Chains A and B, each alone.
Chain A
Amino acid sequence: MLITCPYCGPRDVIEFTYQGDGNRERPDPASQNFEAWNAYVYDRLNPAGDHNEIWQHSGGCRAHLRVVRNTLTHEILSVAFVRGDHAPATRRKAEDKA
């Protein structure tokens, strides 16, 4: 399985770490809504088909990626940075200084 990192290009899946269901929303840390916390920690969509998930390019640029992947065919439909469409922040700072 190849994942095309928007920063590094197509790389083998072994460079990436799976971080799970991308549909979850972490509640406000101050929230005492137990149902929302339980849902965040334990509930998963688990579709048979297109799945919105988070991967980290841990063996490359270390960016967190939002990947849409088909769980029946392993086909990767889209890859984007989790924090908007830009290069990783550390790299940008280095370029800004230069």
Chain B
Amino acid sequence: MAEYSAFSLLANALKGNKDWKPAWRKPDPKASYDVIIIGGGGHGLATAYYLAKEHGITNVAVLEKGWLGSGNVGRNTTAVRSNYLLPANTRFYEHSMKLWEGLSHELNYNVMFSQRGCLNLAHTPAQFDDYARRGNAMRHLGVDAELMTPAQIKRLIPALDISDSARFPVIGGLMQRRAGTARHDAVAWGYARGADRRGVDIIENCEVTGFLRDGDRVTGVSTSRGDIRAKKVAVAVAGSTGRVMQLAGIETMPIESHVLQAFVTESLKPFIDTVVTFGMGHFYMSQSDKGGLVYGGDIDGYNSYAQRGNLPIVDEVMSEMLALFPGLARVRMLRSWGGVCDMSMDGSPIITTGPLPGMYLNCGWCYGGFKATPASGWTFAWTIAKDEPHDFNAPFTLDRFYRGLVIDDKGQGANPRLH
């Protein structure tokens, strides 16, 4: 197994980089496992890693329909933050942030976690007050947050239009300095290697086509590579949750699948060294280590499994970018892509036992799943190992919708396209 160190980098460099070993095996599926995890994305791989590392459960298979990391973990815009208002969210995402801070070291894999900060811009006094409230709520729970004035913001991001003649003048912002970005593919690869070296089988090109049942209890899955039995079956399939749950006979879920588009420009010289979000629409942007500006905005707003979007949102996102950064008008867009998000009814995730006996469900990440990857895997592994939630994910049950305990950070109600 390839270990990374200053010595191994140097030794392999001198030998022409011909001796690197694959980072994970390509095993054939066994007849049965203690735990099967459906979905080889960030959350599924992190779950397998923490199952093995924290709970000693190593007879585990991760089943991936395509190749590893071909879904949302490779399609997101890499931002990581924990600037939420409601305590359930703040605690959960701050746990994630703490795991991020040690992740490269823990995995011996450089996930290029960069705490370059995340700044939310305010354009009205009411919005600024709202950010002050959110910042106070965060600091009450030990999360860093600071309000910034337009002059401070201009020093941080010189290219930003903060003039009074801007369509939406900037009157301040809320900054989380510990937020930032991470190399999304490396997160998948690092967790995959970490899980693999602890004995987890990562099985690619293995599509789940149905569930094996004994009465109500789920006892395994049928796949394109044969039936596989398991004591516990965990589902972490992001945008395909609706589709996979229908295979289990569950027709409806408090979830809609929507497509979110993202964009990247040609490479520029250093232009912006933080993540910035626009408060009057929905727009966020950072600069990748290669130099491209990576940005996105709203979901397209209607159900879609297409992994590609439509033009009106492209148009809208570009207009919002130019409202903030008029100087980018002639920069070329290199490419755009779409990922399928399972938008939940309150904008918060679901990490829970059930809904069937023997089954465990991790879904409803809306378009914020990447930042949650470490904590999602950590709490989901806990839930699978102990058949009960950790305090961090206890509020994120499936039945919260029916018990009046929704976690609606944006206050948008049961309307997925607005979260």
Residues of A within 8 A of B (CB): 1, 12-14, 18, 20-21, 34, 38-39, 41-48, 51, 53, 69, 71-74
Contact = CB atoms under 8 A, between A and B. Distances in A.
Nearest to A16: B302
Interface of B: 240, 242-243, 246, 251-257, 301-306, 310, 312, 345, 401-402, 414-417
Contact of B302 (A14, A18, A44, A48): A18
B203 to A, nearest CB: 22
25 contacts: A1-B310, A13-B310, A18-B302, A20-B415, A20-B417, A21-B256, A39-B252, A41-B345, A41-B401, A42-B401, A42-B402, A42-B414, A43-B252, A43-B253, A43-B254, A44-B242, A44-B254, A44-B256, A45-B251, A46-B242, A48-B240, A48-B243, A53-B302, A71-B306, A74-B304
A44 B257 CA distance: 10
Contact of B306 (A45, A53, A73): A73
A46 B256 contact: yes
Nearest to B402: A38
Contact of A71 (B301, B303, B345, B415): B303
Given A12-B312, A13-B312, A74-B310, A41 B303 contact: no
A39 B402 CA distance: 9
Contacts of B251: 45
Which secondary structure dominates chain B's binding surface? mixed
B382 to A, nearest CB: 26
A42 B302 CA distance: 16
Given A46-B303, A71-B305, 13 more contacts: A18-B417, A20-B417, A42-B254, A43-B253, A44-B253, A44-B416, A45-B242, A48-B240, A48-B243, A48-B305, A71-B257, A71-B304, A74-B306
Nearest to B406: A42
Contacts of A38: 401-402
Contacts of B401: 38, 41-42
A51 B310 contact: no
A18 B305 CA distance: 16
A72 B303 CA distance: 9
Q: Of residues B246, B302, B417, which shows the largest number of chain A Cβ atoms within 10 Å of its Cβ?
A: B302
A44 B401 CA distance: 13
Contacts of A1: 310
B253 A41 contact: no
A14 B312 contact: yes
Contacts of A13: 310, 312
Closest 4 CB pairs of A and B: A46-B242, A43-B252, A42-B254, A18-B302
Contacts of A46: 242, 252-253, 255-257, 303
A12 B415 CA distance: 23
Contacts of B303: 21, 46, 51, 53, 71
A38 B252 CA distance: 12
A72 B306 contact: yes
